[in-house]
Each structure stands twice: as C-alpha cells, then as structure tokens.
Amino acid sequence: MILLTGGAGYIGSHVAVALIEAGLDVVVLDNLSNSSPASLERVQSICGRPVAFRQADIRDEEAVHDVLKSYDVTAVIHLAGLKAVGESNERPLSYYDNNVLGSMRLLSAMQRAGVKTMVFSSSATVYGAPSYLPLDEAHSLAPTNPYGRTKFFIEEMLRDLYASDGDWRIGVLRYFNPVGAHESGFIGENPLGVPNNLLPFVAQVAVGRREKLTVWGCDYPTPDGTGVRDFVHVCDLAAGHLGVLRHLKAPGLFTVNLGTGEGSSVLQVIRTFEAVSGRTVPYEIGKRRTGDVAVCYADPVLARNVMGWKSTRSLTQMCADHWRWQTMNPAGYGA
Ligand code: NAD
Ligand code: WQD
C-alpha cells in the first residue's frame, strides 16, 4: 500500500490515478486545507476502484503512524504542503509549521513504523535565480522566498536522515511548472480564490470568470519580452512518480528535475490557449512581479537516465486538457 499525503490536491489526485491504473493500492491522507473530497470521488470514477482516505494532518504524528500501520504502508509519496509563494512571504511561520514541522512529524512516524521509502514533492524554486540554463540538479540552491526555503530545508532533512541511516530509499522530485489536467476532464487544478499561477488564471479568463489577465512584465531579455517557464503536463509528472517508485527498489537517495527541458513564454501560453479554446484571452501588460526570474527551464536528462522518465505531452495538449477541465467544471469541484 502506498500512502499519498496531500493526495486530494491537484498533483496528488493525478498521482493517485497513475498509481491505481498501474495496479498499486493507494491510501490518501489529507487535511483538506486546500482541496475537496470530491477530487477523490472523481479519481474513483476514473479508475473504477475505491480510494482509501483518512482526513488528517501530517503534523499529527499519531494519526500518521496509525495510517501507516493500519494500511500496511510500504512507501510514502509526500505531496502535502502549502504552496503559495506570496502567502509564504506574509505568513512564513505557517509555512515552516505546516511544511517543515509537518514533514518532520511524518518522517518520525515513518521511522517508528519502519517505513523507509519516501518520495518528496520538491520544487524548482529551490534553485532560486538561475546562474546558468538549463537548470541541472548540480545547480546551487538559493531559494528566494519562505515557501522555497521550506522545500530546501525538507530536502536537507532528508539528506541528513539518509546520512544517518543508509536503509532509507528517498527520491526527491523537483517539479517545474505543472499544468494541464487528466484527459477525462474529471480532475484538475481547483484554486481557491484568485489563482496565483498563470494557467489557471488564463483558463478562468477564457471561460469568462475573470475579465482579463495581467502579464507581469514584457521587458525581460527573452524573445518576446515576457517570462519563460518550463510547463510540464501534470499526467507526465504523475507518471514520474511511478518511475521513481520502481527505481527505489534499493536503498539510496536521488534527486531529479521533472520538467520538459523546454521554455515557453507567457505570450506563447496565451496564444496556445486561445488556439485550443477558440476564445480570446484579453490581457494587459503590468509591471514585473517581485521575485520573478526572466527564464527558468530544466535539464531533464538525469530523470531519463536514472528512472527512464521523460515528458511526452506538448504545450498544446497541456492547454487543451486544462481547457477541457475548466469547461466541464467552470466552478471547479464546487459545481
Ligand atoms: P495542492 O494544494 O493542490 O495539494 C496539496 C494538498 O496537501 C492539498 O490537498 C492540501 O489540503 C494538503 N495539505 C496541505 N497541508 C497539509 C497538512 N498539514 N496535512 C495534510 N494535508 C495537507 O498543491 P499541488 O499543486 O497538488 O502540490 C502538491 C505538492 O507539490 C506540494 O508539496 C507543492 O509544494 C509541490 N509543488 C507544486 C507545484 C505547483 O506549481 N503546483 C510546483 C512544485 C512543487
Ligand atoms: C509563470 C509566469 C509570471 C500569473 C510558481 C512558483 C514555483 C512553483 C510553480 C511550487 C511568470 C507570469 C503569472 C499572472 C503572469 N510552485 N504570470 N500573470 O512563478 O514560475 O512558479 O509556480 O513549487 O515555486 O513560484 O509560476 O504560474 O505563477 O508564473 O504574467 O497572472 O507567468 O510572471 O513569468 P512561477 P506562475
């Protein structure tokens, strides 16, 4: 049995589908602070199998320990966490409490239960401003906001744990910019309030829920002046978790980027979204957003060499799948 912390969330629900479709048994632990149980009902309807669920907080070590024991868990995929960069600047202690302390309690519960296989959802944000591109895993780590630092400290905690006990099997996955949705349109990203990220904002403008997008800066040293990012389809990302589980058959700790290796600009995303949706996405040019870098994309070669993973879906498919999810669920899971 595989435990998914944060499995009711955006990426977690897609990982759940990938694992269940590969024949694995899954139990989800989530406090539902940023998700809805409806996502797991949708996962069940895609897979035709029930998903075990416990509503609990990763900081509750006893609850986590109980789930590990009751479900005979052999590996944990740890996605639970708060993820909004801006909010982390305003409420850093909540982020350290939830993400860092939560991960510490989770790892303590795993140690007590003798479960020593862990896959951790880290982020490209741990690199900070790139000093060269593409970003490979050897790039220095200098996150520029509290959220990114929580990811960095958790990574450090995992490296210390492995150094202390070489029986652990640990995979650290640094996601770039996950977008898109399952091709069924049943599950997808369901941001509460105003979306922080580009794709959900674009989708809500296209569907008429918001008037226009602000493009944060058009004077970057990029071909069209707007920011460039490595957008990766959430189903490709989910497949990476299967790859890592297969690779963790022996003790070790490895860290890989999950990205496509290709950068797309904000204007390219808008145009692609307009093409697949047949809608206009009105936008205005605003000032640069504080903390944004001009360009960020992955060197994805290590993930291919280490676990045979590579992304397969194009930006067009990412936008098309995001659009299908948005049109089938204009109010997200709240509909
Ligand atoms: P999400 O908010 O949709 O999912 C996170 C889930 O964790 C939610 O269901 C939430 O309710 C749950 N959760 C949060 N704190 C918890 C706690 N203390 N106990 C139990 N459950 C808790 O976010 P997501 O986009 O699916 O991200 C999943 C993971 O991937 C996060 O750790 C995030 O930092 C990381 N990540 C996300 C992105 C991205 O752009 N989406 C990029 C890089 C890394
Ligand atoms: C992408 C581009 C914006 C919104 C964030 C986190 C990172 C990781 C992924 C978790 C940038 C531009 C955006 C808008 C815009 N998350 N933009 N108008 O900032 O690359 O990464 O999500 O780990 O940690 O920082 O993603 O989607 O916010 O922005 O012009 O309304 O779109 O300026 O160039 P980002 P994003």
Please tell me the residue having the least CA distance from ligand 1 atom 8. 9
> Do residues 287 and 217 touch, judged by C-beta distance below 8 A?
yes
Q: What mean pLDDT comes out for the span 107-122?
A: 98
Segments making up each domain of the chain, as ranges: 2-179+231-260
Residue 125 — pLDDT band, cuts 50, 70, 90? Answer: very high
Distances from the Cα of 285 to the Cαs of 43, 198, 258, in angstroms? 38, 14, 30
Q: What mean pLDDT comes out for the span 201-214?
A: 94
Q: What mean pLDDT comes out for the span 129-146?
A: 97
Q: What mean pLDDT comes out for the span 59-72?
A: 98
Q: pLDDT tens, 92-105?
A: 999 999 999 999 99
Q: What mean pLDDT comes out for the span 273-286?
A: 96
Q: What mean pLDDT comes out for the span 261-272?
A: 98
The pLDDT of residue 335: 54
Query: In the 8-state DSSP scheme, what is residue 207?
Result: T
Q: What mean pLDDT comes out for the span 210-221?
A: 96
The pLDDT of residue 290: 87
Please tell me the residue having the least CA distance from ligand 2 atom 20. 229
Q: Active-site residues: which are they?
A: 147
What is the C-alpha R_g of the chain?
19
The pLDDT of residue 291: 86
Please tell me the residue having the least CA distance from ligand 1 atom 17. 57
Determine whether the shortest distance from the Cβ of 125 to ligand 2 is under 6 A.
yes
Query: In the 8-state DSSP scheme, what is residue 135?
Result: B
Centre of ligand 1 to C-alpha 13, Å, is: 11
Residue 54 has pLDDT above 90, yes or no: yes
Determine whether the shortest distance from the Cβ of 266 to ligand 2 is under 6 A.
yes
CA angle in degrees (0–180, nearest 5) for 310-313-318: 135
Q: What mean pLDDT comes out for the span 108-112?
A: 98
The pLDDT of residue 334: 81
* pLDDT-above-70 percentage for the chain: 100
* DSSP sequence for 18-37: HHHHTT--EEEEE--TT--T
Query: In the 8-state DSSP scheme, what is residue 289?
Result: P
Domain 2-179+231-260 has CATH 3.40.50.720: yes
Centre of ligand 1 to C-alpha 99, Å, is: 10
- Among all ligands shown, which has an atom nearest to the Cα of 201? 2
